[in-house]
C-alpha cells in the first residue's frame, strides 16, 4: 500500500497577483491615486492549497514552472505556507500566470487583468501512479489540462476523490473535467451559462447524478446550494460578515472543502467549513492574506452557535 504523503494534491493554476487598491474603479481617460499596492501569489488551485494547509492539511502542488523571478516568487510563497512543491516540474520558458487586480475598497469588488504568457502544465506522461496514489484528495482546476485528466483517471482507479474548481470551460479538457469530476463546485455565473437555469437549485439538479459524489453551486452572499449524488438539493446560507475584498474567496472555499473531505468529513460538514473559511477571507484584503487557520474558523463557528 502506498503511503499517503499528502491530504490534498493540486494540479492547476498558480499566479502572481499585483494588487492595486482604489476607492472606486477608474473612469476611462482619467488619473487616480491608489491607496495601496502589493504583490502576492494567487491562482485557483495554488490559493486553495494554501487554504487547506492553513486549516491543517498536508498539501502538495504539481505544475510546470521555470527559473525566472515570477516562478521563484510563486514557489517561495507556497513553500512558506507549508505546501510541498517537490512535484513541480521545471521547464525553460515556463512561468506563472501574471495578473493585475484592481480592488475597489469601498464596494469590496475587484477586476482582474491577466496574461497567460509562459503558462504550462504537466503532460500526461509526467503524471505517475505513485504521485496520485500519495494523496487522499485530488484537486484540479480548468488549467490542469491533459495532465489533470490523466491524474483524474488514476485517482478514479484508486478510489481517490477529485474536487474540481472551474471558472470557465473554454480551456483544453475543461469540458471533460466538468463531466467527470466527482466533487464539482462551480460559481453561479458559470452554472447559469452552462445549464440555462436561473435558480441555483435547478443548476445543481442539472449537474447532479449518481456518478457525482457532490455538486455545489456557490453564489456569494446568497450562499451555497448542493446535492449528494442525485439526492435533494440543500441550501447553506452564507455567513454575514463585513466584506473588504472578495479576491480568492472561491479558491478558499474549494481548498477548505478539499481539506475537510480528506479528513473524512461528510459533504454537509465540508460545505460548512468551506463557507466559514471563505467568509473570513472576505473580511481581509488580498487573495491569501486573510485566509484563516483552523483555530480561527473554529472560533468563528463557535461564536455563531452561542
**CA 162/CA 176 separation, integer angstroms:** 13
Per-residue confidence (pLDDT) for residue 1, from 0 to 100: 57
Q: Is 248 inside any structural domain?
A: yes
Range of the domain at 274: 6-24+35-303
**How would residue 36 be classed by pLDDT, with cut points 50, 70 and 90?**
very high
Give me the percent of the chain exceeding a pLDDT of 90. 80
Within-domain flag for 1:
no
Residue 29 lies inside a defined structural domain of this protein: no
Assigned domain for 64 exists: yes
Identify the pLDDT of residue 173.
87
Whichever domain contains 57, its CATH number is: 3.40.1190.20
Please give the tally of structural domains in the chain: 1
Q: Does residue 268 register a pLDDT over 90?
A: yes
Structural domain contains residue 176: yes
Grid cell at residue 185:
463546485
pLDDT band, very low/low/confident/very high, at 168 (cuts 50, 70, 90): confident
Q: Is residue 42 part of a domain?
A: yes
Distance CA 77, CA 286 (A): 14
Q: Is the pTM of this model over 0.75?
A: yes
- Residue 158 belongs to some domain of the structure: yes
Residue 97 covered by a domain: yes
Amino acid at each position: 500500500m502506498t503511503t499517503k504523503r499528502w491530504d490534498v494534491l493540486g494540479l492547476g493554476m498558480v499566479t502572481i497577483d499585483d494588487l492595486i487598491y482604489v476607492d472606486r474603479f477608474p473612469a476611462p481617460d482619467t488619473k487616480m491615486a491608489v491607496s495601496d499596492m502589493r504583490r502576492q501569489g494567487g491562482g485557483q488551485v495554488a490559493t486553495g492549497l494554501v487554504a487547506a494547509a492553513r486549516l491543517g492539511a498536508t498539501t502538495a502542488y504539481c505544475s510546470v514552472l521555470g527559473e525566472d523571478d515570477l516562478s521563484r516568487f510563486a514557489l517561495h510563497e507556497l513553500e512558506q505556507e507549508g505546501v510541498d512543491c517537490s512535484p513541480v516540474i521545471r521547464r525553460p520558458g515556463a512561468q506563472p500566470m501574471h495578473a493585475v487586480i484592481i480592488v475597489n475598497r469601498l464596494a469590496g469588488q475587484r477586476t482582474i487583468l491577466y496574461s497567460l504568457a509562459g503558462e504550462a502544465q504537466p503532460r500526461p506522461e509526467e503524471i505517475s501512479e505513485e504521485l496520485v496514489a500519495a494523496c487522499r484528495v485530488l484537486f484540479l482546476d480548468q488549467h490542469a489540462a491533459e495532465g489533470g485528466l490523466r491524474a483524474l483517471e488514476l485517482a478514479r482507479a484508486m478510489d481517490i476523490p477529485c474536487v474540481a474548481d472551474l471558472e470557465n470551460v473554454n480551456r483544453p479538457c475543461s469540458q471533460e473535467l466538468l463531466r467527470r469530476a466527482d466533487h464539482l463546485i462551480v460559481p453561479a455565473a458559470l452554472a447559469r451559462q452552462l445549464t440555462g437555469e436561473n435558480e441555483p437549485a435547478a443548476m445543481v439538479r442539472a449537474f447532479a447524478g449518481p456518478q457525482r459524489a457532490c455538486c455545489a453551486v456557490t453564489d456569494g452572499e446568497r450562499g451555497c446550494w448542493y446535492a449528494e449524488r442525485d439526492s435533494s438539493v440543500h441550501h447553506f446560507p452564507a455567513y454575514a460578515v463585513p466584506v473588504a475584498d472578495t479576491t480568492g474567496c472561491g479558491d478558499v472555499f474549494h481548498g477548505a472543502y478539499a481539506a475537510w473531505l480528506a479528513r473524512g468529513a461528510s459533504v454537509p460538514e465540508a460545505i460548512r467549513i468551506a463557507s466559514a473559511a471563505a467568509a473570513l477571507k472576505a473580511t481581509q484584503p488580498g487573495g491569501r492574506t486573510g485566509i484563516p487557520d483552523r483555530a480561527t474558523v473554529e472560533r468563528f463557528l463557535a461564536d455563531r452557535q452561542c
